[in-house]
Every structure is written in C-alpha cells, then in structure tokens.
Chains A and B, each alone.
Chain A
Amino acid sequence: MNDKIKRIYVPMTESGFYILFCLQTPQHGYGISQQVRRLTGGAVVIGAGTMYGTLSKMEKDGLIRFYSEEDKRRLYQLTELGREVLETEIKRIERLYKNSRGENIDG
C-alpha cells in the first residue's frame, strides 16, 4: 500500500468501509446498499450518488475490480490492495473499540 492510498483511505468513511467489506463477495451497487442495510439494521444507508462515486473512485485506485456485468449493472470485487486496506481499517477499528472499552493494546 503506497502513501497516496493510505492518505485517501486510512481512515476511511463509514460508507467506504462498508462498501469494501461487502465486496469480499462480488456484487453490484444496489446489492451492496441492501446488504449494508441488513448488516446495520438500517442505521447506515448509502445514497445512489455516493455509491456510484465511491465505486468509481475505488476502481480507479485499484481497491476493487470489475467482475462481471448483469443487465447494465456492473459487479465489482475486492482486489489484493483492497483487502489490504480493509484489513488495515479493521485493525484500526478494533483498536478504537478496545480502547473505548478501557482496554489497552499491548506492544
């Protein structure tokens, strides 16, 4: 992961995180928004414009790649770089979570 990617995506927006998280299995934009709604009990709703913009940006930056097309809908999938960014974020969020519970991180 180079500095540019790190600067843009670490830390990332909540929608960005959920989109990457969902793309561990190939999906299209609307599918992602439905999955995010289920995962978060409706607390996180991603708008159509934000979804499209984020997917385009992530594809350009190499975090996700085109997987296939189904009636004009493009399906995307995580790349190696995307997985690396996602894991970095998960670690950061875990640390936040632990610290918020009063736990310290060893090391």
Chain B
Amino acid sequence: MGKLKIRFFTIADYEDEELWLRKQHQNGLKLVKMTPPCFYKFEECEPEDVIYRLDYKNGAQTEEYLQMLKDFGWEYFTHCVGWLYFRKPASAAKTEGEEELFSDNASRVDMAEKVARTRLIPLMVIFLCCVIPNLINAANGVMGRLSTFFGVFFGAMFGIYLFMIIYSGIKLNRIREKYKD
C-alpha cells in the first residue's frame, strides 16, 4: 500500500530531508518517488534504519558516477529536478565515513556552492526580471481589467520568492560556514 505525504523542503534543506526520510523508513515507510514541490510517495515496508543521502548533480550524472555509488553500497532509487536520491542500510555502514557521500568538508562546501550557483541565482533572476516588473505593472493598472488578479498573483509570488531567496540564501551560507575550515 502506498502512502502520500506532503512536506516542503527548500533547496537548502537537503540535510533535514535526509533525516526526515531516514525517520520515515524507521517507521516502516520507504520513499518511492518525490514529486515537486512537496509530494512524497512512500511504500510500506519493514521498519529498518536506512540512511538517505541526496546528491545534487543537476543532470550531470554519468553511468560511471552511478556505478561508483553502487560500488560504495548506495542504492540509487529516484531523482527529482537535479537531485539524486540514494539510500543504504545503516547496518552496511561499518564506520561513520561510510554513512556519508562526502567525506571531506571541501566537497560538502562544493555542493552547497553548486546549489547556490545553479538554483538560488536563477530564483533571484526570476524574482528580479519577472516577478517584480509584473507586480509593478499590475500595481500601475497596465494590465487592464485583469490588474487585480495579476496584482494578487504576483504579490503572492513576490512573498514566496522573497522568503525562499532569503531563507535558502541564509541556510546555504550556514551550511558553507559549518563545513568551511
């Protein structure tokens, strides 16, 4: 039996998402698929301690990469807008290092910076070049009778984008600081 859960994680919450998925699996729910922005499809299973890890490849994963992760004991089971989902039973990780995809801080910082570069900056561009101009147009009544509708729509977008940009920006920076020597 499948089960759908709704939970929203921003582009900067991948470490929280990993922990949440691990907890689900401990409670007998294994993730099957993630559909943006917030739908998680689970399948019931035996409760087990399974480590979940997300890697952000932005579509650049190669066969060699997937093979290497498999060699290291990671099961690749789904992907979602640039993010790849891996898991490994905790019992298969004999040392702390085997629980991680990234074993040094340099590569953890790299990942946070890659997310900022390829996801946060496009969000800012959309915000500055689309959301704000449209909101201004709507406020000036340029869109005629639909101005109220667009005003409300772009007003909401303005709020959502502003929140996402500030929240993700601060959090990605915090991840970077945490791992920076």
Residues on A facing B (Cβ under 8 Å)? 13-15, 28-30, 33, 42, 44-54, 71-74
By the criterion CB–CB under 8 Å, are B110 and A45 in contact?
A: no
Is B163 interfacial (CB 8 A cutoff)?
no
Is B97 interfacial (CB 8 A cutoff)?
yes
User: For residue B96, which residues in chain A have a CB less than 8 angstroms away from its CB?
Assistant: 45
Most buried by B among A52, A54, A71: A52
Give min CB distance, B71 to chain A, whole Å. 4
Partner-contacting stretch, out of B23-31, B60-68, B115-123, B138-146: B60-68
Residues on B facing A (Cβ under 8 Å)? 55, 63-65, 67-69, 71-72, 74, 95-98, 100-104, 106-107, 110-111
CA distance A47 to B51 in the complex (A): 14
By the criterion CB–CB under 8 Å, are A48 and B68 in contact?
A: yes
User: For residue A29, which residues in chain B have a CB less than 8 angstroms away from its CB?
Assistant: 68, 71
What 6 A-B pairs come out closest when comparing CB atoms? A45-B97, A49-B101, A30-B71, A47-B103, A48-B72, A72-B67
* Tally of A-B Cβ pairs under 8 angstroms: 69
> Which of A13, A14, A42, A51 is B68 in contact with, Cβ under 8 Å?
A51
Give 13 new A-B contacts, CB below 8 A, not counting A33-B72, A72-B67.
Answer: A13-B106, A46-B104, A47-B98, A47-B100, A47-B103, A47-B107, A48-B71, A49-B101, A49-B107, A52-B65, A52-B69, A54-B107, A74-B64
Residue ID in chain A nearest B74 by CB atoms: A48
By the criterion CB–CB under 8 Å, are A48 and B107 in contact?
A: no
By the criterion CB–CB under 8 Å, are B67 and A45 in contact?
A: no
Can you list 13 A-B pairs with a CB-CB distance of less than 8 A?
Answer: A13-B104, A29-B68, A33-B72, A45-B96, A47-B98, A47-B104, A47-B107, A49-B107, A50-B101, A50-B102, A50-B103, A50-B107, A53-B102
Give min CB distance, B101 to chain A, whole Å. 4
User: For residue B98, which residues in chain A have a CB less than 8 angstroms away from its CB?
Assistant: 45, 47
CA distance A83 to B55 in the complex (A): 31
By the criterion CB–CB under 8 Å, are A14 and B72 in contact?
A: no
CA distance A85 to B113 in the complex (A): 26
CA distance A72 to B70 in the complex (A): 11
User: A13-B106, A49-B101 are known contacts. Are A42 and B95 too (CB-CB below 8 A)?
Assistant: yes
By the criterion CB–CB under 8 Å, are A14 and B67 in contact?
A: no
Residue ID in chain B nearest A33 by CB atoms: B72
> Which of B67, B103, B107 is A73 in contact with, Cβ under 8 Å?
B67
User: A53-B110, A72-B67 are known contacts. Are A48 and B104 too (CB-CB below 8 A)?
Assistant: no
